Structure 1
Amino acid sequence: MLASLLKSRLATLLLLAIIIAIIPYVAPSAFYLRVAAVVWVFALAALGLTILMGYAGQVSLGHAGFLGIGGYAVAIGPTHLGLNPILSLFLGAALAGLLAYVVGRPILRLKGYYLAIATLGFGVILALVFHSESQWTGGPDGMQVARATVFGVRISGASTWYWVTAGALLIGAWLALNIEASPTGRALRALHDSEVAAAGTGIDVASKKLAAFVIGAIYAAFAGGLLAAMNGLITPDAASFMHSIELVAMVIIGGLGSVLGAVVGAAFLVVLPQALTMLQEYEQAVLGLLIMVFMIFLPAGIVPTLRKWLLERLS
């Protein structure tokens, strides 16, 4: 009974909802709520990579580019086009999905290292555009983001953004879990194991890979829009190569293909640097060492390893 519960979609959502509900009662100040909100945002972006990398087995080293598209859409929409920030958020996600569709058709024909380099190049191009098109993006300094309002009520404060980002994460997790259990999800798992075998069973490999790429882009853009709206500022750094690497690291550390793993990985790479600030110049070295240790002793990721351990104890 407990073993089947550990594998169920409902249990995953329930556990995530319980964690979200408990944190405001144990957080000592608004600062911790803000850090948690940042975790939820990056976890949402990591969920998109979970679908692309964990389900479909496709590598992307330029995923932060879509994060930047969402962030700049929320900034450019109200500033230059007079659009509502909430509408700009959804338009940014739609634009990212459209761009992923156009770009994904040629580059997803590549495999392995070639695909990784192609996505890296795409991300670098987007970062350069955000950096150089100063009349639209504000250049290297970025640009201010208009505060979002819903029915005339301004969305502000750490507590409010905590619940907004948490709600977005829960919806994103629910969608990801349903995709995993759907025929599309099973097809993605099949091509993750072997594209040749998947094609032999009648699966349209190219369209499934493209669908995963588009979905991942929409997740990232939505997360980027939320992050920009919450911070009130967006800079080209949001689309940097290092942010793309961080997103990949979140997915791998938490557990490739695990929805909870994306959340745990995001928490690991957002919270741990905050805890290591006391080490000053050694902060990055210690963080890198801890990541190495986790990868050596927990190669499957934190969540899958813990789930396997619990299942063995319950069997």
Structure 2
Amino acid sequence: MFKRFMQLRLRDLVILAVILFSLPAFLDNPFHYELATQMAIIAATVVGLNLLVGYAGQVSLGHAGFFGLGAYFSAIMTGSYGWSALPALLVGAILVGVIAWIVGRPILRLKGHYLSMATLAVGFIIAIIINNETGLTGGPDGIPVAPFDLFGWELSPFGSYSLLGVELSGSQAWYLFSALVLLLAVWLAQNLIDSQIGRALRSVHGSEVAARVVGVNTAKYKSLVFVISAIYASVMGSLYAHFQGFITPAVAGFDFSIVLITMVVLGGMGSTMGVILGAVVLKLLPQLLADFQELEAVMFGLILMLTMIFMPKGLLPTLQRSIGRRLKKKAEGQA
């Protein structure tokens, strides 16, 4: 059983890699590459959030706050203090992890809507600080961000690069880089899920009382996954800031937190590939509804509502179950 489970994990990773590296054949212009890069970065963010929500069963309505902290830390340290992007990203992730551990210890003792309100408050506090510290963050006007540099190699959407003899535009290079980051994020998440930590998280999700009875330190594992998901958000926030070249407090806002949690629920909680699908769908919907600008919010809500009614487990798990039933009926009919 475990061997088959690992084979399925590897299969999913290979399928994702094939999709990511085949996608450029269907991307026609820099805007398409920009959208695909944003999808990859946001998808990696919700992969981390899914560890907290889908596997540990802990709701976070303020996760954009950690995303914004990573983005602003990189922007400030590279722009005002001359740091390279990679050290800024790593130090920012460590600091965000420490902050998540400090605030997570008390609030993760709460349950249900009390936990939701507490995480919402954390997100609001971070967003307010970013918005009000005008001298440091630029306030509501935002702040420019330096291009991402790695060991003297600068990655900019406006540059041109040569990879194995192939000439790439800056937007193409950024997409390939973000695709690799997404694959790494998924691989790390899958390894965590398959480890002792992952089993402990699933037991916490199932029943905290039962988990404690069998010796699982629920407080420890809830804090750990909260920190891990915050680090995911911080790293992706840093990359997003460097890719965009300019950020505003919206990256830490309540609206973005709701979008992130909706991606997890829509794609399928507890399904790594499902939440990636949720991220893609919610990033594409505004583009598909561009001709209905005055009705965009209504149609957006209607689509989500219908999905939750008819696919309560999420898009991917529902589709997998439906395909599995059809294949089973077909096999039974042939027998």
Global fold match (TM > 0.5) = yes
Cα shift at 1:298: 0.6
Output the amino acid matched with 1:56: A
The residue correspondences of 1:170-181 to structure 2 (distance < 5 A) are 170-181=183-194
Cα shift at 1:152: 2.7
Look up the match of 1:182: 195
The residue correspondences of 1:35-50 to structure 2 (distance < 5 A) are 35-50=35-50
* Contact persistence 1:33–1:158 (CA under 8 A): yes
* Contact persistence 1:67–1:223 (CA under 8 A): yes
The count of residues paired between Structure 1 and Structure 2 equals 313
Cα shift at 1:150: 2.4
Measure, in 1, the Cα distance between the counterparts of 2:287 and 2:235. Answer: 24
* Contact persistence 2:85–2:150 (CA under 8 A): no
Output the amino acid matched with 1:114: Y
SS in 1 for 2:220: helix
State yes or no: 1:54 paired with 2:54: yes
Q: Deviations over 1:50-88 (max 9, x none)?
A: 000001000000000000011001101112222112211
Look up the match of 1:275: 288
The residue correspondences of 1:110-149 to structure 2 (distance < 5 A) are 110-149=110-149
Measure, in 1, the Cα distance between the counterparts of 2:199 and 2:151. Answer: 41
Measure, in 2, the Cα distance between the counterparts of 1:162 and 1:237. Answer: 23
Q: Identity rate of aligned residues, in percent?
A: 46
Measure, in 1, the Cα distance between the counterparts of 2:216 and 2:102. Answer: 21
State yes or no: 1:161 paired with 2:136: no
Q: Deviations over 1:84-107 (max 9, x none)?
A: 122111111111111001110111
Output the amino acid matched with 2:131: H
Look up the match of 2:228: 215
Measure, in 1, the Cα distance between the counterparts of 2:283 and 2:255. Answer: 14
Look up the match of 1:12: 12
* Contact persistence 1:148–1:155 (CA under 8 A): yes
Q: Deviations over 1:248-274 (max 9, x none)?
A: 000000000111111101001111111
Cα shift at 1:233: 0.9
Look up the match of 1:88: 88
SS in 2 for 1:28: coil
Cα shift at 1:124: 0.1
Change (3 A) 1:33 1:98: same
TM-score (structure 1 length as normaliser): 0.96
Measure, in 2, the Cα distance between the counterparts of 1:16 and 1:296. Answer: 28
Measure, in 1, the Cα distance between the counterparts of 2:7 and 2:63. Answer: 28
SS in 2 for 1:149: strand
Look up the match of 1:77: 77
Look up the match of 1:152: 152
Structure 2: give runs of 5+ residues left out of the alignment: 157-169, 329-335
The residue correspondences of 1:197-276 to structure 2 (distance < 5 A) are 197-276=210-289
Change (3 A) 1:280 1:7: farther
Output the amino acid matched with 2:214: T
Look up the match of 2:164: none
Output the amino acid matched with 2:276: V
SS in 2 for 1:154: strand
Output the amino acid matched with 2:171: A
State yes or no: 1:107 paired with 2:107: yes
Of residues 6-15 and 164-173 in structure 1, the stretch that sits farther from structure 2 once superposed is 6-15
Look up the match of 2:165: none
Look up the match of 2:307: 294
* Contact persistence 1:5–1:11 (CA under 8 A): no
Measure, in 2, the Cα distance between the counterparts of 1:225 and 1:211. Answer: 21
Measure, in 1, the Cα distance between the counterparts of 2:86 and 2:285. Answer: 31
Output the amino acid matched with 1:127: A
* Contact persistence 1:253–1:294 (CA under 8 A): yes
Look up the match of 2:34: 34
* Contact persistence 2:84–2:150 (CA under 8 A): no
Look up the match of 2:167: none
Cα shift at 1:6: 10
Bigger-Rg structure (1/2): 2
Cα shift at 1:30: 2.1
